[in-house]
Amino acid sequence: MLPLVPIELFLAALCLLVLGVNLWVLLQHLLKTDIPPSIPHRMRFRILHYLFQLTMTWGNILEKLRICSMPKFFRFLHDAVTIKRNYQVVVTDLCFEEVPVRLFQPKATSSSLRRGIIFIHGGGGVFGSLDSYHTLCSFLAQKTDSVLLAVGYRKLPDYPHPAGLQDCLNASIHFLKSLKAYGVDPSRVVICGESIGGSAAATIIQIVLGRPDLPQIRAQVLIYPILQTINFQLPSHLQNQNVPFLTRDFMITCILKYFIIDPSWKDAILTGAYIPPDTWMKYREWLSSDNIPQRFGNKIQQPQFPRPFNKSAYLELKQFMDISISPLVADNEVIAQLPEALLVSIHWDVLRDDILLYKKRLEDHGVPVTWYNVEDGFHGCIFLFDKFFSFPCCWTIINAIVSFIKGI
């Protein structure tokens, strides 16, 4: 039996550690966080972000102690949700090509085939699950009278790129080949993705485009997606780099982990030093800050981009220019064939300009675009639509999605 005094000292030290970490996170939040001026319920927003940062910090501590990885710790808490049962929807857990999926089908009978929705959740390849997005998917299936397939793809730290994208692609193709078995009209399939799920959705559309063995996707719904990993000096990346919940530093950290890139290459990624001059001449037409409307970028002094070419960085980072990672830079012939789109951007989001650039590319090629730029929102807000920390922007986005899909 251990002596009483050492146990007391241990408990005291543990309490001091917990208090110290909590105070440090609070101080970092107060000093470094930019709260957008149009965000309502500002105290609620601050509390939510503080809890997010606290969870991340403890996850990193546990990772350094080799007790548990940060992603697994965060997912353990993030996914510890009580699933709200929707009695208007039948839910079935399945596996498509060894990928866990969840099928949401309206219980009411239908005299005709329904729309189909493929939903790919966000979370930076770190967070999110079928359970944590269950209520959102159930709500969308009911309100749009659609059969919705949610994909439970693999994530970090055990499964870096391209595992997650491959899971989403395999499950989507399986679903597209089986639509009539689930009562889905092959001419009315929508693919919907949030954040990194939006990147996967945009990539999948391009991959299956024109395949004669598959029905063509009717529309795409991309909710604040990441669409390119080439130009990180766009106005929104500079203006909103310290705005919760996706700071530029956290985004780059996720990207480094997702692609198993050493952190020493961070500066080359941010400055574009790995981009060959002739490649930038091609991409400049699509990725230059000059394509951002003046009202979004006129307050930022643009730095030199890209920086002088570094061949070593190119050899390490050239995968970032692949269209499976940066679907925004697909060839014009591909962009011109893409389906109608609903694009949702958040004004105070580092990824806002990705959406603006993609919107311009689609419209330049005659693809119909419905665009919502949410002024009072923040990255990841859709996840909170039915929770205690819900904000008005959550419902703004949900209602826009429902309205768009019902028009398909």
Catalytic annotation, residues: 195, 349, 379
CA 385 to chain CA mean position, Å: 16
CB 195 within 8 A of CB 202: no
Buried b (16+ CB within 10 A) or exposed e, 160-182: bbbbbbbbbbbbbbbbbeebeeb
Q: Tell me which amino acid residue 326 is.
A: S
CB 202 within 8 A of CB 128: no
Strands 99-106 and 146-151: antiparallel
CA-based radius of gyration for the chain: 22
Q: How far apart are CA 401 and CA 404, in angstroms?
A: 5
CB 195 within 8 A of CB 345: no
CB 268 within 8 A of CB 317: yes
CB 121 within 8 A of CB 192: no
Q: How far apart are CA 217 and CA 164, in angstroms?
A: 20
